[in-house]
Chains A and B, each alone.
Chain A
Amino acid sequence: MGEIETFESALQAFASTARVTSDADILRNYAVDGLLPLFVVTPTTTKQAAHVVALANQYGLSLLARGGGSRISVGNLPERIDVLLETNRLTHVLEHEAPDLTCHVEAGLTLAALQAKLAKKGQWLALDPADAAQSTVGGILASNASGPKRLRYGSARDLVIGLHVIQANGEVTRSGGRVVKNVAGYDLNKLYIGSLGTLGIIADANFKLHPLPIAERTLLLTFTNAGDSMQMVIALLGSLLVPSALELVDPAAASDMNDFFGVNLPTNRYTLAIDFEGATATIDRQVDETRQLARKYGVLMVDDLAGESQDHFWEAVREHTQGTVTCKVAILVSQVAIYLQIVEQVCHRHDLEAAVVAHAGNGILFVELRPSDATYRLVEAIAELRLHAKEARGSLVVERCPVDLKRRISVWGEPGSDFYLMQRLKNQFDPNGTFVKGRFVGGL
């Protein structure tokens, strides 16, 4: 018997309750950038999952974890996938210590399911990435997904207080803990978050929680150009006001959102959406002051959202960060307006179109480029846009794109001077290359 067959029988013998599939028809649903795994294993306990990893390590196979699959194609093309470890049956809420504002949950639970559970006690996990219904806690952490409200609450690194991680040799280790403050040993949580499964498989996580806001309101401000709206953003950030989200929607993105989500944004203007949360009195005051401030920056129109239309609007914003070809650009806030002009020029030169939504207060832009099949023009445009992002002291990552384009670009860009230190970490954590290679920065 070959390695693979022995692995399979070892797996079958062990994992009687885990589902193991090598059926070609089923495997097709699990393709990553067109690449099929040899097996899909769906364990029901962390112990089983750890055993699968240990076996893969022992047989020299390469393993990739998959949650809900919503971000499985983030990253460069994987080199080889032997085992796909599906976590979506690890769905226990192990603890919700509501009076401590913390919880402990397994990695395969979807964010939506978790939020529903926490909401019963008036709390939530302050992460709002796109696709909460499909995304699992593990997938969100591994890809460091976030959403508009990171302006107020930060991202996963600010909310995770503990993790259990399956190491490459199958051992399950703990980092952090269940208390909100902890400096015992190295802060490995930070290392695992955003590491895309290259260092370990997240089995469960402890989070710091927040109370659900008492009230929430969104102002939609319309500006003639990006410059005015970004002046407004900078003024707000440097003011006393504390918006929870500041999202800039460019005309093209506005028009998409109107078409696909039935919202009603002006399509020849820039829309700045400002979300306020808290007690009604503080919201009212902030709304008033925002209106006044906006006049200074030449606002054309102000609209006010609450309740369902507000939820729907933010849902549309989040989903719009996931176009077929989407670049995530992270730069300084003061550079956003100029960068938007650059996007326009670059697209014009390469006969492409762009639609942009930006977490304007964080300096993070999601630039969707079209048409998605103009591979060669896209390759050039992305290279230019990346160069400009670098000049603005930031980065450009192609978060989504067709495989054909992916073959011709590096989605992460050239690694920085600290890359050799990342390589050393990877070698320490995964010396046998058990976790799928190729997807992460520099091919890690």
Chain B
Amino acid sequence: MSITALTPTTSPLFERISESKKEEVVRDLSALLGAKYVLHTFYDLMLYEYDASIDRCTPDIVVLPASTEDVAAIVKIAVHHNIPVVPRGAGTGLSGGAIPIYGGIVIVFTRMNRILEVDYDNLRAVVQPGLVNLYLTNALNPQGFYYVPDPSSQRSCTIGGNVGENAGGPHTLIYGVTTNHVLGLEIVTSEGEIVQVGGLAQDTPGYDLTGLLIGSEGTLCIVTKIITRIVHLPEAVKTMVAVFDTMDDASNTVSEIIATGVIPAAIEMMDQMILQAVEADSHAGYPQDAAAVLLMETEGLREGVTEQVEQIVAICDKHHARAVRIAANEAERQLFWAGRKNAFGAVGRISPEFYVQDGVVPRTRLPYVLRRVGEICTSYGLRVGNVFHAGDGNLHPLILFDSQIPGEVERVRKAGHEILAVCAEVGGTITGEHGVGIEKQEEMALIFNEVDLQVMQQVRQAWNPHQLFNPGKLFPMPGRCADVKQL
């Protein structure tokens, strides 16, 4: 048999560890790291039981290593005691990737947060996984450079977590996502070995392990060092907000912009519900009565930007944009973006909870799919807002709910599932940047068949045969302890 059999899904992969075993492991880990960097009391652990998704589960122990060697030693201790290990960045993940559904050890990288090397001649930076995404760009800005992938959570998410999820962001439309900007990794394997993959130079002979590991959600290896590209800041940036009276007009505008090949750096869409939430929160000046706005940015050489702005404005006009406003200065530009980047937070003000989906569809299908999203949510009696990377066709419907209302969570999950089914049906995918985690395990079957999934299982078998790393994720598998977070 060339195909590894699927793991039986009946009994849990790992039992929760006993108190006495926990004491033993804490002792081993404390001897290695110092007691200060091994958290194991109820209150200390509570902070690490959730991420930005709607699930949660408490780890048994949280450790804060200071070096790659520490990480390798932690893994060896975990191997010895057969306890699962879950790497965690900032915990901003939206699919439950960092939630330890069988408990065990969570490795947190807050002490491994340095920029190790910046090489401007070769346009490379080498960083530790705990570095906050925006800090890299901030460090490079004075020299005129930056790190491109810019998740909206970039003020808090880590580069390690970005590698874990293959994160994107508004500006990945022309420049690509994390995998297009990372050239090599240092990793710790599930046996606790330290290995280098890829490198500073391009085209390392052999399989592209770097490419395989990016987006593996902590299920294949633990990343301890990351080699990234860095890029020169653009000379000119123009940011526009186009206002539409119907969602269809807005999405047709997106389709036409892409079709004509005039591809700006970012095209983000926000619908009316989001606009109202954002306006209440950050007063960015977005119209409250519009059906949708497109936030678009073009950048590059001055001449090119001017021309692109003209083309985009013309396309907006053709699709009945009520107005197109171009940011007059940097302050206004920042304000436009603040509205977008804080949109999730703003929605938090109008609803106790929300559930974000992350499906991707061919850009020409946006009008249809957005209509369906609305219909599906209405049919479940749920409110939804859309704020998303329209240029990539990457939807983020935010379904509002209140878990205190009986049955509401179930309806939210069902609506979410139906939305992803629509994405799959039009040739799209179930996740564009947030990852599968625990949240979309079942939905994997919407786009991959049994055999496709078995091949992926083979990969996990090669790297993480006993599922020591982040067990019970990515593939359909019931029998877990995680429950829905009650806020």
Contact = CB atoms under 8 A, between A and B. Distances in A.
A328 interface: yes
Interface string A405-428: 000000011011111011011011
Nearest to A423: B462
A97 B303 contact: no
A327 to B, nearest CB: 12
A105 interface: no
B150 interface: no
Nearest to A329: B201
A428 to B, nearest CB: 4
B459 A238 contact: no
A432 B3 CA distance: 11
A131 B122 CA distance: 30
Contacts of B430: 184
A173 B362 contact: no
Given A180-B392, A185-B456, A193 B462 contact: no
B208 A282 contact: no
Given A191-B208, A425-B459, A428-B462, A182 B179 contact: no
Contact of B121 (A194, A234, A240, A282): A234
B211 A157 contact: yes
B341 interface: no
A397 interface: yes
Contacts of B459: 186, 188, 191, 425, 428
A175 interface: yes
B420 to A, nearest CB: 10
A367 interface: no
Given A171-B451, A191-B211, A364 B364 contact: no
A183 B433 contact: yes
B203 A364 contact: yes
Given A191-B212, A418-B197, A413 B205 contact: yes
A183 B200 CA distance: 24
Interface in A320-349: 328, 330-334
Contacts of A101: 258-259, 261
Q: Could you say which of A193, A195, A429, A442 has the most chain B C-beta atoms within 10 Å of its C-beta?
A: A429
Nearest to B189: A421
A334 B444 contact: no
Contact of B214 (A168, A181, A187): A187
A117 interface: no
Contacts of A278: 304
B403 interface: no
A242 B429 contact: no
Contacts, number: 261
A413 B448 CA distance: 37
A372 interface: no
Q: How large is the interface on B (under 10, 10 to 19, 20 to 34, 35 or more residues)?
A: 35 or more
A331 B394 CA distance: 36
Given A157-B211, A242-B301, A285-B301, A237 B168 contact: no
B166 A183 contact: yes
B216 A169 contact: no
Interface in B262-294: 263
B205 A187 contact: no
A199 B207 CA distance: 10
B461 to A, nearest CB: 6
B194 to A, nearest CB: 8
Contact of A415 (B206, B214, B428, B435): B206
Contacts of B433: 181, 183
Given A281-B303, A363-B202, A412-B205, A188 B212 contact: yes
Interface string A182-211: 111111111101110001000000000011
B394 A154 contact: no
Nearest to B361: A179
A190 B204 CA distance: 13
A287 B394 CA distance: 37
Contact of B208 (A190, A239, A395): A190
Contacts of B393: 100, 179-181
B116 interface: no
B307 interface: yes
Contact of B123 (A237, A417, A425): A237
A99 B360 CA distance: 16
Nearest to A172: B451
B232 interface: yes
Interface string A205-227: 00000110000000000000000
Nearest to A154: B180
Contacts of B389: 181
Nearest to B120: A238
B196 A238 contact: no
B452 interface: yes
A69 interface: no
A279 B180 CA distance: 25
A177 interface: yes
B209 interface: yes
A394 interface: yes
Interface in A74-102: 97-102
Contacts of B179: 157, 187, 190
B206 A240 contact: no
Interface in B111-156: 119-124
Nearest to A198: B207
Nearest to A424: B462
Q: Could you say which of B234, B360, B453, B463 has the most chain A C-beta atoms within 10 Å of its C-beta?
A: B360
15 contacts: A99-B258, A99-B363, A102-B362, A175-B455, A181-B389, A183-B433, A185-B453, A187-B179, A281-B303, A334-B122, A363-B122, A416-B196, A418-B195, A430-B2, A441-B205
Given A97-B364, A397-B205, A441-B205, 8 more contacts: A181-B393, A190-B179, A190-B214, A331-B201, A333-B122, A395-B204, A418-B209, A427-B462
